[in-house]
Amino acid sequence: MISPPYNTDMSKLVISEEARYEDLADLAIALNEIVRLPVTMRGLKYPGVRVENGKVVDGNYTGPILEEVIRTGKAIRTIPKSGAFKGVPVSVAPIVVEGRTVAAIGIVDVIGTIDIPEVFGAYADVVAQVRGKAPEKK
């Protein structure tokens, strides 16, 4: 436990409306490493970052859906009609701090390209399996 005065030399991640790619890249890379899908982020005031295959491919990135999510403060799952991900399903969510949208984060939405019930069977069976229970007989 660290008691006051707190160590001010500690690394920290800050996402604010003035976040630029340098502020967002580490988080975007980590998320990309987890899901292995392209990740995009931007702050309210400045373009952000696009990450693919564990690397920043664009350090001045913005996209129409990121911009719409920042403008509306609502998550969107759609297929963009323009931009780097034109024609590719994406899911973008706002990052809200103290009731204000300060940034947005997006990911290629592979779920939007598959029929979940067809791939995984009945949802109840999947939930039962995850919980360690045998699926009910139909």
| Domain assignment present for 51 | yes
Residue 61 sits in a domain whose CATH number is 3.30.450.40
pLDDT-derived band at 111, boundaries 50, 70, 90: confident
| Domain assignment present for 122 | no
Per-residue pLDDT reduced to its tens digit, 32-88? 999 999 999 999 999 999 999 999 999 999 999 999 999 999 999 999 999 999 999
Residue 110 is predicted with a pLDDT of: 80
Which residue range(s) make up the domain with 54? 21-113
| Domain assignment present for 72 | yes
**What is the value of pTM for the model shown?**
0.75
CA distances from 68 to 9, 25, 54, 62 (A): 36, 21, 26, 11
| Domain assignment present for 133 | no
24 with 103: CB under 8 angstroms? yes
Number of independent structural domains in the chain: 1
Residue 136 is predicted with a pLDDT of: 57
User: What percent of the chain stands above pLDDT 90?
Assistant: 67
| Domain assignment present for 126 | no
